[in-house]
Amino acid sequence: MATRTSPNTLRASEKVEERLHQSSVDYSKKMGVLAQQLDELQQEGQQRYEALQIEAARRHETMQQESACQHEQLLKLFATQPQPSSSESAGKSTASNVTLTIREGKQPTGNHQVHDRGNGILLNPCRTQERVEE
């Protein structure tokens, strides 16, 4: 009781198998092309990233060099400025000393706080409170 298939059914089955095989080959080719494109894009992205890193490092170094040059120029300019005579600086020394002290992050002490209240220098309220309590 063997079943016999008609020749038309065999041909149709062969055609389906051939189409399936061809579709599989086409799919594999397309996947290969897409994988290659993905690799190329990843390589290009990596190259761009590396180029940006190099550029950022170069800019950082340039900014550091420019900053150092500006700092050196300011130091030279400051060094070449004539120092005021003692009679000219007698009235200004207290205010400038307090200003420098505040810029350095230190609190003025002693007479400077009382003397400089009218010179636009802000006092630390905590330090003022401590002095009132003493």
Domain boundaries, the chain: 12-80, 95-134
For residue 123, the number of C-alpha atoms closer than 13 Å in the C-beta half-sphere is: 19
pTM for the predicted model, two decimal places: 0.42
pLDDT > 80? residue 10: yes
**Taking 60 as the threshold, does the pLDDT of residue 121 lie above it?**
no
| Res 92: pLDDT | 54
CB atoms within 10 A of CB 116: 19
- pLDDT confidence band for 116 (50 / 70 / 90): very low
CA distance 88 to 102: 22
Q: What is the pLDDT of residue 54?
A: 96
Please, how many CA atoms are within 13 Å of residue 28, restricted to the half-sphere of its CB? Answer: 6
The confidence band for 19, taking pLDDT boundaries of 50, 70 and 90, is: very high
Q: Give the mean model confidence (pLDDT) for residues 31-37.
A: 98
**How large is the average pLDDT for residues 24-46?**
97
Q: What mean pLDDT, rounded, does the chain reach?
A: 77
